[in-house]
Amino acid sequence: MKKEGRIMNLAALLHRPESEDCFLYTDEAMRVRFHTARADVAKVTVLYGDPYWQLPDADGTNKLIYQRRSMHLIGHGQTRDHWEVTLEAPYHRLQYLFEVTGQDGAVWLYGDRGVRENHAAARHKAENYFRMPYFHAIDRVKTPDWVKQTVWYQIFPERFANGDPDNDPIGTKPWRPTDHPGREDYYGGDLQGVLDHLDDLQALGINGLYFCPIFTAASNHKYDTIDYLNVDPAFGDKLLFAKLIQAAHQRGMRVMLDAVFNHMGFGSMQWQDVLRNGEASRFASWFHIYQTPVTPFHNPLKNAGQPQYDTFAFEEKMPKLNTANPEVQEYLLTVATYWIKIFDIDAWRLDVANEVDHHFWKRFYATVTAIKPDFYVLGEVWHRAQPWLNGDEFSGVMNYPFTQQIEDHFFKRTLTAEEMVALLTDQLMYYRDQTNQVMLNMLDSHDTPRILTLAHGDEALALQALTFTFMQTGAPCLYYGTEMGMSGGDDPDDRKPMDWSKLGSPIWKKVVELVHFRREHAQTLGQGSTRMSVTAAGLIKVTRHGDEMLTAYFNTQDHGAAVDGSAVLAQGFTNGKLSPKGFMVQVGNQ
């Protein structure tokens, strides 16, 4: 019987077949999601069965045979509720239909051909069922399992440690962590410095090293590549790099290199040939050139006129590559495979990945995973990234849209706890579960202010936000120096020389505890389900369920709150009271 009250919002019912709403999670299990208007629906039931399961009725007509399974309400988003169920099929094919019961008591059917009234005849209309015609295991989106158990550490090589003063560039400055670096400054960081401190990173608990570019380039940041097949002389050489890779692997650490395939450096052999020979250059078609002879242009945002060639942003020293050119593709694929075959790297991070065409990335992914099936391909995409995450381009992306919601609540207070939880829940619905599990979650990087600066120097607040991030689905990443309590504003201030004097300090010990906790509970935190809410007491609650149950509470209010149970990881938790900026994590049902 229909109840008094608002009418169910039928326009808000949403499901997309063969997408992040319907995907194979394992070769046998299909995960199905459904979305309704927030607080609008009381129950969702999925009707499902084999497309060929039919029996004749009394009148001789065939009727479908279907089973019923209740869907679970897995979270409240900003404007929608999200429901989920996992289905299996003995013959590896399914058809399914949603039966939706509103808070108003009305029941409707939602299927491939739209909304229908709920009656027996409609439930037996095969044409309105969504179809998964066959579970092809080869079509399942696969992501590297090892990434789900990895804690990454991002290294900006020029600022991590100076292990070999003999390769310092002319004008290298003294190593002062209190400096505010200029854009052109050098401090002498190199690969020997990383090798020297591998034991310190191992003590921290790190098992994934993410290097900013190490290849020959003119700048200190190396995002203007001159030679993709050589280590920059200021960092060392290939022999040293091979030694570093071997030492990292011996410690159980995977290694990810940064590739800049969107553009080249001004000093590259290819671009210099274009500057000399113009249209006659055999590399002219490697770039997007509109006018010859080519002369470096000034930023057109500041000067009248159009650029002669495309670049990254409006950086005249970073000409954009034409990755639709087969010669460019072959060259870049040679680069990509060289560092895998010769040095056994485990992952590529792809700079400005959203500005490179999809056709190239499909070739790239197929090529690198043919060499190493569990290779990790990480794209730099700062916005919603579904087009790249269907299993044939990237494994995951740098999860800025996710982690910036965390910053907006914990540091900036532009989102309430309820708003942040809703937005984070929505974010998890954009991708398949196996994709969410290998997204790179970082609160800061070489492109953003450091978290201690965002937290206005408050270490407790920074650690609270960091712990919240470590409790989320996705692979967490520390930016070098976070464990030392380093501060820094926007680039280049976020690239200060590493403060090694803080090794073993109280903040270092707290970050060590957090990293080791994540590693010890990697199975659940890496692949378990995630549920978030705000309790009646105003605490943010995160529940992770996998091989075990982990429950965490975060107090972002300005007053204390009572929490029952004991903690295995905590800050500001005493005698059942959780203070502001405090958190506590429980294991098991308490």
Cα 516 from Cα 255, distance rounded (Å): 19
Q: Which of 380, 393, 433, 494 is catalytic?
A: 380
**Is the backbone peptide bond immediately before 293 cis, with ω within 30 degrees of 0?**
yes
DSSP H stretches of helix in 372-481: 400-410, 417-429, 433-436, 451-454, 459-470
Q: Is residue 232 within 8 Å of 154, Cβ to Cβ? A: no
> Helix or strand or coil: residue 191?
helix
Cα 79 from Cα 426, distance rounded (Å): 9
Q: If we measure between CA atoms, which residue out of 343, 160, 336 comes closest to residue 245?
A: 343
Cα 198 from Cα 204, distance rounded (Å): 10
Beta pairing partners, 442: none
Cα 83 from Cα 73, distance rounded (Å): 4
Tell me whether residue 232 is one of the annotated catalytic residues: no
Beta pairing partners, 69: 46
Tell me whether residue 494 is one of the annotated catalytic residues: no
Cα 522 from Cα 541, distance rounded (Å): 19
The crossing angle, in degrees rounded to 10, of helices 400-410 and 459-470 is: 140
DSSP string, 45-66: EEEEE-TT-EEE-TTS-EEE--
Which residues, other chains included, contact 180 with Cβ-Cβ below 8 Å and sequence gap of 6+?
493, 496
Residue 95, amino acid? Q
Q: Is residue 541 within 8 Å of 550, Cβ to Cβ? A: no
Q: Which of 351, 393, 494, 499 is catalytic?
A: 351
CB-count exposure of residue 139 (10 Å: 0-12, 13-18, 19+): middle
Q: Is residue 451 within 8 Å of 482, Cβ to Cβ? A: yes
Query: How far from 188 is each of 323, 497, 561, CA to CA, in Å?
Result: 33, 9, 49
Cα 207 from Cα 220, distance rounded (Å): 26
DSSP string, 483-524: GGT----STTGGGPPP-GGGTTSHHHHHHHHHHHHHHHTHHH
Q: If we measure between CA atoms, which residue out of 228, 156, 220 comes closest to residue 442?
A: 156
Cα 184 from Cα 532, distance rounded (Å): 44
CB-count exposure of residue 310 (10 Å: 0-12, 13-18, 19+): middle
Q: If we measure between CA atoms, which residue out of 392, 449, 318 comes closest to residue 143?
A: 392
CB-count exposure of residue 579 (10 Å: 0-12, 13-18, 19+): middle
Which residues, other chains included, contact 161 with Cβ-Cβ below 8 Å and sequence gap of 6+?
189, 190, 193, 194, 196, 197, 498, 500
* Residues marked as catalytic: 351, 380
